[in-house]
Amino acid sequence: MRHEPMPDFDPKLGRQLPPPPATGSEQEVGPGQGNTLAKEAATAAAHHPEPPHPHEIPPSILRELFQLFRDMLRNGKGWPMLRLGAAILVILVGNMFGQVRLNQWNGAFFDAVERRDASAFFHQLLIFLVIVVVLLALVVAQTWLQERLKIRLRQRLTQVLLDIWLKPNRAYQMGFMGENSAQPDQRMQEDCRLFSELSTELGVGMLQAFLLLVSFIGVLWALSGPVSFNLGGREITITGYMVWVAVGYAGIGSGLTWLVGRPMIRLNTLRYAREAELRFALVRVNESAESVALYNGEPDERRNLDEFVDAVLKASRRLSGGLARLTWITSGYGWLAIVVPILAAAPDYFSGRLSFGEMMMVVGAFNQVQAALRYFVDNFPKIADWRSAVLRVATFRQAAIDLDEVTAESRKIETGPHPKGWLSFEGVSIALNDGSILIEDATAEIRPGERVLIMGESGAGKSTLFRAISGLWPWGSGRIRIPKPEEMMFLPQRPYLPLGTLRAAISYPASPETFDDARVRQALERVGLGEFIEMLDRHERWDRSLSLGQQQRVAFARVLLHKPKWVFMDEATSALDEENQASMLALFENELKGASVLSIGHRPGLEEFHTRTLHIRKTREGAILLARSRSRRNGHSQSKLGPKWIGRFRRSLKPARSRA
């Protein structure tokens, strides 16, 4: 059994490096560096856009938001969000009128207090109760609608990102797009949550602040009389001076907040990146716990995880320092706002132009205007957090667009249907992401019913050819003609078992209800997993509880259910013993007789099963594909997969013949 080395792990990025077109040592290909196709492949396949430097946050927030919301509103799927937004607007307008009425009540109430008028005092208390009940109902309705909008926004944004990410072959290929497409789990879980929640809160808050500003700036203008003073022998009169005091005070606070708090945008972005890396590292250790234990690698993993924890703590400390510096501005601004309106209104009150109630109305209107104008000051930490989430979501979306552009601009392998439903390679050249040519000018044709084995030394490009047939690796040149996609099934060395029941794993990619219970049970029995029949509907991590050999047999049970006409196997029996391998291959002599098989393998004896061998051999210009018939070997026809063949397979394994 050949053990593929795990792809490299970059502790700085906190993620697994994107694999080369073939696993492990297959990227160790040197020839072909000067080839034109190789140079283009180096540009295309290894296209890693540089992530934005933490100190260089792009100032394109409006464009990013426009593109994201445009995607969310396409095809009429944004109407639920728009309806909720319209309902919130109506509530905010009602709240605006309620706040204006409350400010008017404020003046009447304190005038009654100043006159010591008990009757008017209690009458104003009753009016206050009515106003409060109405405002309370409006606030509750706003809260409910706002929470519903968060859910709708997150639902739609997640759908958009999933649509982008799970287009055919894109999830795999985006692994080559560098930092901008790293941690897709965080982009679609944590960043989508932050984006939806903070966008709703900040958007509704800003709209409410604007409506209150429009409402109370007129009240403040009417209540604050003109102020006159001499400047250079000239008398200058300022009308509505309280409005200008409020605007000036808010402007000073906002300016200081921006200067002190601007670094928090990049600090939040950096913190989210480090948190994602730590989470990835923890998940990776958890997923590989058995291998870590077998190597006694816990101390080494602890050292690695300590590095990630230290990076998170360092980013958090820098963020906490920035928040502390910002608090000097925001808290000081808030405390001074208590006395500033009273000081500004005091001259008119002491001169007798304003009654006590009118002064309280001025203070109330001033505070409402201040609340609107200082919205930026009070919410800057949240705005910085939101801006970081927008950046990470937008860059992930852009990485998918960049991938399409890179693929479109570079020379690529053309994949299309074969007019006769065959499989053919027409001058196919496959390039690695280091710019070298892996396979040069491969030309071959495989007809229905043939069973073809692809052999070659490690690093020759067998698995890359496997990916090129499936469309996962488009970089190179030439043409691959394939059968109908619905007639094809690919079996990698490590099968994918989705989360859920064993029945779902066997039925994948179809739904569990696609196949009746009897067929599923029969398939399990046929591949030697009869002991799991009673566990078909048990929810479990089957990729952990089943050995690799059992997982490979589950993949063959999947083939039995789907009955594809073309089966492509990449070391699909590498974890099976000789008897089980022979039993699985016998499927193509019995239940799946007539199916075409293209397989990659190293194990001795596999040639006995196949009718033809394609041997990949390295040359100075790249690997080449050599065809050699297996239908007639040593003057006799190929043996069937019957009991004699299985017995011979078990008794004496013939070594793979070297190809000249």
By C-alpha distance, which of 504, 573, 548 is closest to 290?
Answer: 548
Distance CA 209, CA 369 (A): 8
Answer yes or no: do 116 and 248 share one domain.
yes
The DSSP result for 592-658, as a single string, is TTT-EEEEE--STTGGGT-SEEEEEE--TT-BEEEEEE-SEETTEEPPPSSHHHHHHHHH-PPPPPP
Residue 655 within a domain? no
Please give the backbone phi and psi of residue 417, each rounded to the nearest 5 degrees, phi first: -70, 145
| pLDDT tier for residue 362 given thresholds of 50, 70 and 90 | confident
pLDDT of 385 > 50? The answer is yes
- For residue 525, what is the domain's CATH number? 3.40.50.300
Top-confidence range, 62-76, 133-147, 372-386: 133-147
Q: Give the containing element (helix H, strand E) for 589.
A: none
What confidence tens digit (pLDDT) does each residue in 213-258 have? Answer: 887 777 777 777 666 666 666 767 777 777 787 778 777 777 777 7
Q: What is the reported pTM?
A: 0.56
Token pair listed for 266? 């990049």
Q: How far is CA 349 from CA 237, 360, 361, in A?
A: 18, 10, 12
| pLDDT tier for residue 629 given thresholds of 50, 70 and 90 | very low
Q: Go through 537-552 and write b for each residue having 16 or more CB atoms within 10 A of its CB, e for each that does not.
A: eeeeebbeebeebbbb
Return the pLDDT at 243. 78
How many domains does the structure of the chain reveal?
A: 2
What confidence tens digit (pLDDT) does each residue in 539-556 have? Answer: 988 988 899 999 999 999
pLDDT of 509 > 50? The answer is yes
Residue 166 within a domain? yes
Please give the backbone phi and psi of residue 28, each rounded to the nearest 5 degrees, phi first: -85, 65
What confidence tens digit (pLDDT) does each residue in 632-652 have? Answer: 344 333 444 443 443 443 333
Answer yes or no: do 147 and 278 share one domain.
yes
Residue 309 within a domain? yes
Question: Where a domain ends, among 349, 378, 409?
Answer: 409
Answer yes or no: do 214 and 234 share one domain.
yes
Pick the more confident residue, 585 or 30.
585
| pLDDT tier for residue 518 given thresholds of 50, 70 and 90 | very high
pLDDT of 31 > 50? The answer is no
| pLDDT tier for residue 89 given thresholds of 50, 70 and 90 | very high
Return the pLDDT at 84. 92
For Cα atoms 615, 620, 626, give the angle at the middle one, nearest 5 degrees. 20
pLDDT of 353 > 80? The answer is no
Residue 30 within a domain? no
Answer yes or no: do 111 and 235 share one domain.
yes
Question: Where a domain ends, among 409, 430, 446?
Answer: 409
Answer yes or no: do 69 and 149 share one domain.
yes
Answer yes or no: do 373 and 420 share one domain.
no
Return the pLDDT at 94. 92
Domain hosting 544: range is 414-628
Answer yes or no: do 199 and 227 share one domain.
yes
Report whether 559 contacts 592 (CB < 8 A).
Answer: yes
Q: In what order do the strands lie in the sheet with 596-600?
A: 488-491, 566-570, 596-600, 451-456, 612-617, 624-629
| pLDDT tier for residue 558 given thresholds of 50, 70 and 90 | very high
Pick the more confident residue, 272 or 635.
272
Residue 204 within a domain? yes
Report whether 42 contacts 435 (CB < 8 A).
Answer: yes
pLDDT of 28 > 60? The answer is no
Mean pLDDT (whole number) for 650-658 = 35
pLDDT of 20 > 50? The answer is no
Return the pLDDT at 503. 93
Measured from the Cβ of residue 260, the count of other Cβ atoms closer than 10 Å reads 17
Respond yes or no on whether the N-terminal peptide bond of residue 263 is cis (omega within 30° of 0).
Answer: no
Answer yes or no: do 433 and 400 share one domain.
no
Answer yes or no: do 89 and 207 share one domain.
yes
Residue 81 within a domain? yes
Answer yes or no: do 359 and 467 share one domain.
no
| pLDDT tier for residue 522 given thresholds of 50, 70 and 90 | very high
Return the pLDDT at 409. 62
Residue 394 within a domain? yes
Answer yes or no: do 383 and 464 share one domain.
no
What confidence tens digit (pLDDT) does each residue in 205-214 have? Answer: 889 888 888 8
Pick the more confident residue, 420 or 346.
420
For the chain, give the mean pLDDT. Answer: 76
Residue 161 within a domain? yes
- For residue 279, what is the domain's CATH number? 1.20.1560.10
Please give the backbone phi and psi of residue 369, each rounded to the nearest 5 degrees, phi first: -65, -40
Top-confidence range, 122-131, 269-278, 403-412, 631-640: 122-131
Question: Where a domain ends, among 377, 409, 441?
Answer: 409
pLDDT of 538 > 80? The answer is yes
Answer yes or no: do 383 and 499 share one domain.
no
